[in-house]
Structure 1
């Protein structure tokens, strides 16, 4: 078995998963992989199945799992179904040095509102690009663009050509703004041009860059393509609402669909929070009818 060929196949799985090409990942054969890479490949395939709605089947399949990586996938699948973090918390306490536990455990902790614990867990990683990308996302969610940028700059010293590093740099660029908008757009444009890479996820990234550049028509095309590939893609729906609002169009259908597929989406929570704040402020100026 050629070890270099095996590494290349695993890298293809890695890239396909992080581009949102879940169907491609699931259909990938792992027969040619070395024993060392078999578990890593299985983790990507199982995670892709969770993303496509097969969480229950994955849980059943991993009922007797003993490897930390597979136990982490099982705990993550269970969390997606019942939002119970107990099993993942136990795994994090016992296997904090495991790369899969770090990434999936940190994801659950963040979703539980425990971002600092998630960052502490991810800080244990040893050259794990997915952990690094997740750190960047968490720092951006905390509005710490400076720390997110620091992570990207550090990663570029040892993983310059990595897909995840390029994506992480584009996320930071969209937050920094200015000429970074165009640089971020180029990353997604390059991905979208390759047929296998033109996933809904990639198209949404391209559309966000287009929105920042003020190119509403181009953003609309990209979002329409994303929704054609996946009509319930939450990020595509959220950004379609933003686009419709900017363009002065009705966003009601997108909003209704998003409320149905992702009622706890951060966009909806933020929208409700701002609506409540507006109502509270408006109430102070309500006309008083005297006797």
Structure 2
């Protein structure tokens, strides 16, 4: 049975995870699921805890249950991902490479391994891992993300178009199509906005993540006031949500407002965020270029 179909008992759990409703995922009673789905549900719960800031706690738990971890490819992948998040990148990458070599058909290895490779900037290697998936929507969405990161909108469109033929009306595919729409522009901005608005405004799916998605679509549409409202709502739900903070920085620049306070919060909440890294790299390049010129004072 397709876990993402209307009848799939993992549908609610998957949707909550991809909407950023991690507390809902963590508290989900997995004992109520069929035995065949309990492992998948546990992996999602562990990942939700990692993304909620509990990576160190999970690694400590794994130390006490090392035999169980070593006996499970999925748990080994989760451990490597947690290690990477905590900064133990060298060991994590080595373990990911080992898991990919030995268990490249395992969906958890594909997705978490792909995520680590993406964070390492090894995009084409990640694509090679992910393209072996057998109907895994999360692998598909990560492929779309990579193609957009490479400015290959054409390939991202191809991935989404192919997925829509077999994935029914999956929320994850709709979101991936919205990412592509925000890159394509024009009338696609409005289409993407509708997807995010539906999620962000429904009590069951409203989260810092979905509200930020709505705000980003609003920014593309030039609706600065509406975007600000959505971002403030997102930050009320999670004051340290990095993507909302980044979007608020962008909003404030466009609106001619100060950015110092938001930037300070972002630097504290996510000091290694790609936005900050990219900003520093560009600033360093500017300083390097400026250093070649000396000011001339007219007599």
Q: TM-score range by the shorter chain?
A: over 0.9
Q: 1:71 aligns with which of 72, 76, 79?
A: 76
Distance in 2, matches of 1:166 and 1:128, equals: 15
Distance in 2, matches of 1:187 and 1:70, equals: 33
Report the counterpart of residue 61 of structure 1 in structure 2.
61
Give 1:4 shift. Answer: 11
Give 1:166 shift. Answer: 0.1
Q: 2:222 aligns with which of 197, 214, 227?
A: 214
Q: Give per-residue Cα distances to partners, 1:244-269, cap 9 Å, x unaligned.
A: 00000000011111112222222112
Give 1:193 shift. Answer: 2.0
Q: Give per-residue Cα distances to partners, 1:186-235, cap 9 Å, x unaligned.
A: 00111012112111010110000000000000100111111111111111
Report the counterpart of residue 253 of structure 1 in structure 2.
261
More off after superposition, 55-64 vs 262-271: 55-64
Report the counterpart of residue 48 of structure 1 in structure 2.
48
Q: Which runs of 5+ in 2 are unaligned?
A: none
Contact 1:6 1:37 in 2 (8 A): no
Give 1:162 shift. Answer: 0.4
Aligned pair count? 289
106 and 269 in structure 1: CA distance in 2 versus 1, 3 angstrom threshold: same
Q: Are 2:147 and 1:139 aligned?
A: yes
Q: Which runs of 5+ in 1 are unaligned?
A: none
Q: Secondary structure at the match of 1:104?
A: helix
Give 1:12 shift. Answer: 0.6
Give 1:240 shift. Answer: 0.6
Distance in 1, matches of 2:234 and 2:227, equals: 11
TM-score, with structure 1 as normaliser: 0.94
Give 1:6 shift. Answer: 11
282 and 60 in structure 1: CA distance in 2 versus 1, 3 angstrom threshold: closer
Contact 2:4 2:170 in 1 (8 A): no
Report the counterpart of residue 22 of structure 1 in structure 2.
22
Contact 2:5 2:11 in 1 (8 A): no
Q: Give per-residue Cα distances to partners, 1:1-24, cap 9 Å, x unaligned.
A: xx9999643111001000000000
Q: Give per-residue Cα distances to partners, 1:82-114, cap 9 Å, x unaligned.
A: 223222221111111100000000100111111
Report the counterpart of residue 212 of structure 2 in structure 1.
204
Distance in 1, matches of 2:95 and 2:35, equals: 28
Q: 1:116 aligns with which of 105, 114, 124?
A: 124
Contact 2:19 2:210 in 1 (8 A): yes
Contact 2:4 2:10 in 1 (8 A): no
Q: Give per-residue Cα distances to partners, 1:40-86, cap 9 Å, x unaligned.
A: 11111111011111112222333331121121111111111122322
Give 1:274 shift. Answer: 2.4
Q: Are 2:85 and 1:80 aligned?
A: yes
TM-score, with structure 2 as normaliser: 0.92
Q: Secondary structure at the match of 1:287?
A: coil
Distance in 2, matches of 1:4 and 1:78, equals: 29
Report the counterpart of residue 35 of structure 2 in structure 1.
35
Contact 1:21 1:196 in 2 (8 A): no
Distance in 1, matches of 2:5 and 2:176, equals: 27
